[in-house]
Structure 1
Amino acid sequence: MEKSTGADDTFIATVDVPATAAVMDFVFSDGGAIYDNADRADFHAPVRNASQKLEIARMSSVLQRFQEITTARHAKEKADKIKKDKRDKAKAEAKAKAQAVTLKQQEHVLFTEPGQLEAGKIMKLFYNPNNTSLKGSERVFIVGSWNRWSHEKTFKLPMTEVLVKGEKRMEVELNIPTDAYMMDFVFSNGNHEGAHYDNRNNMDYHIPVIGGKDEKGVAVVEKPLHVVSVSVEMAPIAKVGGLGDVVTSLGLAVQAEGHKVEVVLPKYDVLKYDLIEDLKEEEGFQWGGCYNHVFSGTVEGVKTYFIDPDNGMFKVGMIYGTDYLEIPLTDAERFGYFSRAALEWMLQSGRQPDIIHCHDWQTAPVAKVYWEDYHNYGLGNPRVVFTIHNLDFGQSLIREAMDYSQIGTTVSRSYAQEISGHDSISHQLQKFHGVVNGIDPDIWDPANDKCLPVSYEIDTVAEGKAACRAALCSRSNISNKSDVPLIGVVTRLTHQKGIHLIKHAIFKALERGCQVVLLGSAPDPNVQREFEDMANALKQNHFNDAALHLYFDEPLSHLIYAGSDMILVPSMFEPCGLSQLIAMRYGTVPVVRRTGGLADTVFDYDHDHAKAEWEGMTPNGFQFDGTEAHDIDYALNRAIDLFYNDIEKFHALQANCMSCDFSWNRPALDYIELYHAARK
């Protein structure tokens, strides 16, 4: 500053005021350590026309921020669209592959020329009776019609023996009607009484036809089915076990095929109401000695109805467990009431669904009550499909449902075989089918999983899993030894899950230099205590290599599936199993006991090449039989050896696991065929 020439010792400074300035802030000094800062408040001087400048600056800042937000939103929308398009493409490809595998599996019995049937054209069908129940028949007839057996044109024709690629086949030529969308047929060995039929285990044979049009030239398409699923669980709003996942995911998959799906559920007071969209009360009904309120909403895209009786039986703070409470109703009585109320709701609301799908012992009463009390009294259209998710409970109710339903199913082919001799099922095998459950690839998706530190896909599986492993080791407070296998276990600690084999495998893995992370808890306090003691011992002797998380933690389960090299599933029995399916989705190699759904979804790396090829896949894991320590060692050692001896092949196996399609694409197509079979 310069001292003025006047007599008042004034100092003067010239300062350039920025265009956006509103207030000038300053202090004075002698150029050294002495300051005048208005007693630490500093000096401030307003700038003329500052409000106008501030408004301009504010508007400029707002505009800039708006542009930043808009740019970020557009970028996110573009990225989301790319992800959605990629998911949709993957789903379409998986669906096409599932259909192709089904057709290929059918070729050993029959195929057509051309492969795609077209309305109004001539086709040939070739049949191999030696791979069916008509093996050894001297004559074979084809009996059929069109459009799910509803067409006026039918046929019953003798087939002629021909040679196709050196193999004997039975051939027939047919004219396809111009208004056909489906060819329906069975085979027989004659017209005589006692003739034998090949009707594909009561499902008949069906081949789609394209190009069908009615007399007005309008495309003829199959009428969508209307399916009502009656259940006591539904993910994610009322999930206890796998039943809830199936109800939601199967409903979505069938709906995606163009059919109408509704779910009816008790209105528990413990529902996750924040996950229900557009929840509102509908018209209720008087029944069962009280008024039953009815609510509707949308859960994961599926229209869902909730029954809420004034007797309060679903306002008890839980889904299951009232058998142990001081209230007059057991779970069986509550769910029996609900099963009947669901049918009464359908009747009073004027619904006439094509299929009522009930699940396990909880809604098994639907089948008998429907046929005895509703079919002839106003609710005449539906047919009943019943699914067994676990035969361990309510066996008398399950037997009753198997008697009254038109189709019975369970959650895997191998489990269907394992329980086929059970008294509840053995007398109804002609209508009993195993359909392997799927998983929702949008929920279990390492490319879009918020529980993971990084996202990854099949082409980045090694890098992605390495990052997830580091996060898992940090979360588990163990060293990250990337050059040794990390084996994960995510399970309930029960005898059904093979806890004696889990204990042995943990020590065997550690003996071979591996690391182990387990997540799970035991409903039995004695078992929980055993694992707590084991965890304490491991902390003493293997603190860098083993972590047992003896509770359930959903985000941690995702991290274990992604960060592990192998997942261990040594169940004594497993109707379907989800752990192995989820693990493979995340590129983790399953080591499983050959039972139930585990046998249907895991194909042994060394022994199951032909079985995997039949399913349109390649080997994706390691299996063992038996229940002894040396049995699990056989599978576990082979998996560990592959990691140590040829890491490139192991990474290729992980990528192959990720390529396996265990979505609901194929199960949905199977269930749709079963729904039609129920209505036959």
Structure 2
Amino acid sequence: IKTKSKAEAALVTRRQREHVLFVEPAEPRAGDTVRVHYNPSNTSLAGATEVYIIGGYNRWTHAESIGPLQMVAGDTASSHVSVEFTIPSDAFKMDFVFSNSADGTGSFDNNNKLDYHVPVTGGVHKVTGEPVVEPPLHVVSICVEMAPIAKVGGLGDVVTSLARAVQDEGHNVEVILPKHDTIDYTQVEGFVETTGFSWGMTYNRVFYGKVEGVDTYFIDPENGMFRVGMIYGTDYLEIPMTDAERFGFFSKAALEWLLQSKRQPDIIHCHDWQTAPCAKSFWQDYQPFGLSNPRVVFTIHNLNYGAELIEEAMSFAQVSTTVSRTYAEEISSHQSIRDNLDKFHGVVNGIDPEIWDPANDDFLPRFYDEADMVEGKAAAREALCNHSNIPNKAGVPMVGVVTRLSSQKGIHLIKRGIMRSLERGCQVVLLGSAPDPVIQQEFDMLFHELKQSYHDFMCFHLYYNEPLSHLIYAGSDMLLVPSMFEPCGLSQLIAMRYGTVPIVRRTGGLNDTVFDYDMDHKKAEWEGMTPNGFSFDGTNDDAIDYALNRGMDLAYNKPAEFRKLQANCMSQDWSWNRPALEYIEVYHAARKPY
């Protein structure tokens, strides 16, 4: 199944590129002739009277090059131009950029610095005759969260799942993490102390183990910076250490360990403000003094925190990303971002289908897949109602909410969505807590008020509980995600994996992953999918009512169509298959010598 879904992900990626670039044959072989077709009208070369292809092979490392060759128009009805040439017998990849000038003085289309790359099959080494394959990358991710052992938010999920996905593509991935004293180290396979080093006026012990199959190293400074009983929050303690100071120390300690252990990875991948200091420190303190091989990729998971550190990392990183295309557009004018847009990319997060899998989820009363989705979700709903101490009213939709109760998540829209769902006769179960005690009290009061009129229809669980979240994802018919902004969002992806229809506000990653049942057929088709939810644009009651009412109308009036929509959600691939391929291209782009 995994091999098939990877092949389908690669096919969608290739098909999406065809409006700009395609080749004949579609799967070129080394030693054969290939024709490259390019459509400048959909690129920065729109309107060019001449187009030239400039290329190479094997990530630009091959001795042979392509052109510059002038591309010529074919069918007058088409805006594509093309050119033909022969691929060397020892190639595994073709690499292209395009220009409107043959002498390098004109404008270029380099795919926003990623270049264009086409795989080549059948290449053999000219001396040994062995098959030629792309060498694996060595990627080191430096971060302060990692699921499931050190997870506070979505950052931890992304670090683990991306590492596993890139590793599955044949690359060598390692993670460096602080040795938080809050981690249950029995969850770390083969956990052992391996070495240590003196740096930063303290001795730093280094431990090793595997987390979800990923090689992970833990740095434990004896100055006690990570023996504080929490991952975040020391700014509010009496101890004289802020989170920024602790994570700044860790960022540089991780680089120091790479230097002292004589590692020379290809990529150092740092994440958010917490390890943003890696980017500047690498180039100023380590690259000139022995840690010479790596290049830096920086990912913004949430611009809401640490803007100054993010701006610094954006300047020093070779390539930067954020966690969805729409969020990249939304933050592109921010002071931290705008001066480095030419190396900034949006890559939509995925979820790990082995971790979130209703066919193998021990938190559910029974396993299920698409074939027995109705029965499986019914059993989960029964268990959810029992846990929530409400009767199971199986003839009405169940609306779930799994969220952090903060302003980002659209507090007023969550309240309105709950109220509208109850007014329409739905059952509602909410799971979540608020960092702000005032908001926590508001929801506690709202729960008691609503219980007076809707005691059999709703329950709030105002805390976080991992097993219960699985029950809500599986036992709900719809999941409400009305965020004011959402860099990517994972709850809508998890919901779809469990056959639950997302109701979302059209922002950030929600806009990139949820295709409205009534309006987004073309958008879904572009992603190789069909519509999978309901969405809205505004921030008032009417806006969320518009999406919710359409979802509830379908569930009430056309239950068979609604079940078909749920099954469609389950069938879609929101794994890391495609994002991993995109990140691998980002990693290679970071290593380009120009």
With the length of structure 2 as denominator, give the TM-score of the two structures. 0.98
Matched-pair contact (CA < 8 Å) for 1:285–1:292: yes
Per the alignment, residue 454 of structure 2 pairs with: 542
Per the alignment, residue 110 of structure 2 pairs with: 199
* Identity across the alignment (%): 65
Structure 1 residue 468 corresponds to structure 2 residue 369: no
Distance 2:526 2:455 in 1: 44
Matched-pair contact (CA < 8 Å) for 1:139–1:158: no
- 1:167 deviates by 1.3
Structure 1 residue 261 corresponds to structure 2 residue 173: yes
- For residue 35 of structure 2, the aligned residue among 124, 127, 131 is 124
Per the alignment, residue 388 of structure 1 pairs with: 300
Per the alignment, residue 133 of structure 1 pairs with: 44
- For residue 194 of structure 2, the aligned residue among 278, 282, 304 is 282
Match for 2:455: what amino acid?
F
Distance 2:255 2:68 in 1: 43
CA deviation profile, 1:602-651 (whole Å, cap 9, x unmatched): 00000000000000000000000010000000100000000111111000
Matched-pair contact (CA < 8 Å) for 1:593–1:623: yes
Matches within 5 A, 1:468-487: 468-487=380-399
Distance 2:19 2:199 in 1: 54
Distance 2:380 2:193 in 1: 45
Structure 1 residue 311 corresponds to structure 2 residue 229: no
- For residue 80 of structure 2, the aligned residue among 158, 166, 169 is 169
Per the alignment, residue 240 of structure 1 pairs with: 152
- 1:468 deviates by 1.3
Distance 2:375 2:229 in 1: 45
Matched-pair contact (CA < 8 Å) for 1:569–1:590: yes
- For residue 335 of structure 2, the aligned residue among 414, 419, 423 is 423
Matches within 5 A, 1:63-212: 89=1, 91-164=2-75, 166-192=77-103, 194-212=105-123
SS of the residue 1:117 aligns to: coil
SS of the residue 1:453 aligns to: coil
Distance 1:155 1:654 in 2: 49
Larger Rg: 1
Distance 1:605 1:164 in 2: 37
Distance 1:542 1:456 in 2: 31
**Is there any run of 5+ residues in structure 1 with no aligned partner, and where?**
1-88
Matched-pair contact (CA < 8 Å) for 2:176–2:216: yes
Matched-pair contact (CA < 8 Å) for 1:120–1:178: yes
Distance 2:71 2:138 in 1: 40
- For residue 490 of structure 2, the aligned residue among 550, 574, 578 is 578
Distance 2:485 2:342 in 1: 24
Distance 2:489 2:578 in 1: 17
Per the alignment, residue 204 of structure 2 pairs with: 292
Shift in CA distance, 164/254, structure 1 to aligned 2, threshold 3 Å:
farther
SS of the residue 2:405 aligns to: coil
**Is there any run of 5+ residues in structure 2 with no aligned partner, and where?**
none
Structure 1 residue 623 corresponds to structure 2 residue 546: no
- 1:671 deviates by 0.3
- 1:158 deviates by 3.0
- For residue 435 of structure 2, the aligned residue among 523, 529, 535 is 523
Match for 1:174: what amino acid?
F
Match for 1:168: what amino acid?
S
Distance 1:308 1:528 in 2: 35
Shift in CA distance, 491/104, structure 1 to aligned 2, threshold 3 Å:
same
Structure 1 residue 679 corresponds to structure 2 residue 591: yes
Per the alignment, residue 508 of structure 2 pairs with: 596
- 1:283 deviates by 2.1
Matched-pair contact (CA < 8 Å) for 1:144–1:186: yes
Distance 2:17 2:148 in 1: 37
Match for 2:55: what amino acid?
G
Matched-pair contact (CA < 8 Å) for 2:68–2:102: no
- For residue 161 of structure 2, the aligned residue among 249, 261, 264 is 249
Structure 1 residue 403 corresponds to structure 2 residue 315: yes
- For residue 360 of structure 2, the aligned residue among 448, 467, 480 is 448
Matched-pair contact (CA < 8 Å) for 1:343–1:366: yes
CA deviation profile, 1:460-494 (whole Å, cap 9, x unmatched): 11121112112211221222122211110011111
Per the alignment, residue 500 of structure 1 pairs with: 412
Structure 1 residue 605 corresponds to structure 2 residue 517: yes
CA deviation profile, 1:519-560 (whole Å, cap 9, x unmatched): 111111111111111111122111111111111111111111
- 1:326 deviates by 1.1
Q: Which moved more, 1:129-138 or 1:161-170?
A: 161-170
Distance 1:298 1:173 in 2: 48
Matched-pair contact (CA < 8 Å) for 2:195–2:205: yes
Matched-pair contact (CA < 8 Å) for 1:159–1:170: no
Matched-pair contact (CA < 8 Å) for 2:521–2:530: yes
With the length of structure 1 as denominator, give the TM-score of the two structures. 0.86
- 1:194 deviates by 4.2
Structure 1 residue 634 corresponds to structure 2 residue 546: yes
- Number of residue equivalences: 591
Distance 2:348 2:75 in 1: 33
Distance 2:76 2:144 in 1: 53
- For residue 374 of structure 1, the aligned residue among 286, 304, 309 is 286
Matches within 5 A, 1:299-378: 299-378=211-290
Distance 1:509 1:291 in 2: 57
Matched-pair contact (CA < 8 Å) for 2:53–2:71: no
- 1:402 deviates by 0.2
Distance 2:27 2:452 in 1: 66
- 1:96 deviates by 0.9
Distance 2:119 2:421 in 1: 51
Matched-pair contact (CA < 8 Å) for 1:411–1:597: yes
- For residue 570 of structure 2, the aligned residue among 637, 658, 665 is 658
Match for 1:674: what amino acid?
V
Per the alignment, residue 82 of structure 1 pairs with: none
Match for 2:84: what amino acid?
E
Runs of 4+ in 1 over 6 A off after TM superposition: none
Match for 2:465: what amino acid?
D
- For residue 558 of structure 2, the aligned residue among 646, 651, 656 is 646
Matched-pair contact (CA < 8 Å) for 1:415–1:575: yes
Matched-pair contact (CA < 8 Å) for 1:236–1:272: no
CA deviation profile, 1:242-265 (whole Å, cap 9, x unmatched): 111111110010001000000011
